[in-house]
Amino acid sequence: MKVVIFAGGKGTRISEESHLRPKPMIEVGGKPIIWHIMKMYASYGHKEFIICLGYKGYMIKEYFLNYYYHNADVTVDLSNNDVEVHKNKAEDFKVTLVDTGLETMTAGRLKRVKQYIGDEDFMLTYGDGVADIDMNHQVEFHKKHGKMCTMSIVQPGSRFGMLDIDENNVVNSFIEKPKEDGAWINGGFFILKPSVFNHLHDDADDIMWERQPLEDITKEKELVAYKHDGFWKCMDTLRDNKELNKMWETNPKWKSWD
């Protein structure tokens, strides 16, 4: 499946770093966190990516356009500008980089990449979260339930919005402010049918994907929850970034590749 990654936000809650570069380019273990996310998907065979660019998107473009050189030893002959590449570590990714606007909300960003997705089911995630989620098992779950949208859910604590789900894992409603710990929340790893674009209207640029589109899909009983009770971490703050870097040195639980 193709994988769409939201990478256009300004990352204001981690402004210590995001004023210099887009949030997905903030490094964990010397690599941008978006690289870690892509490696997670690629380890399960999903290697075609569509990246929704916005804030400082040119930096993400530059990274992938020059990925071959960023990940190699090189000898440069300055007299004639000849470049000799040694020990290249290129990935077998196919990456489509799409400028989806500076101020565009997430629903609009998704709508703007429709032409690159085609008529098959696809995956969607954010450019700031990692997990040890079994992507292939989630795909099987998605196919088994046959809903328009499969959404991973996790239990990180009480500071995120909660979900009410029934015995069949169908989402009934969102609860804006949780009142207790242990509630299931949106984990940010989606699998979608192309019919989801019917819920992205002309005003999508001004709407968050997590609001009207998901709420409408929920009302139609077309949103099913995939419970992930393993590791999950969203890099919201500088503290989160430091924690992920420490984990990378000791026990990177999201590392599903060799």
The pLDDT of residue 176 is: 55
Q: Are 180 and 171 contacting, i.e. CB atoms less than 8 angstroms apart?
A: no
The pLDDT of residue 179 is: 43
What domains are defined for the chain?
Answer: 2-250 (3.90.550.10)
Task: Give the number of other CB atoms < 10 A from CB of residue 121.
Answer: 19
Q: Strand, helix or coil at 138?
A: helix
Q: Among 231, 113, 229, 139, which residue's Cα sits nearest to residue 191?
A: 139
For residue 206, what are its two tokens?
Answer: 């001004």
Q: Is the pLDDT of residue 178 over 70?
A: no
Cα separations (Å) of 103 from 63, 69, 112, 179?
22, 31, 13, 32
Q: Is the pLDDT of residue 246 over 60?
A: yes
Residues facing residue 130 across a β-bridge: 233
The pLDDT of residue 86 is: 87
pLDDT tens by residue, 81-118: 898 988 878 899 999 999 999 999 999 999 999 999 99
Q: What is the mean pLDDT of residues 26-33?
A: 97
**Over the chain, what is the mean pLDDT?**
92
The pLDDT of residue 7 is: 98
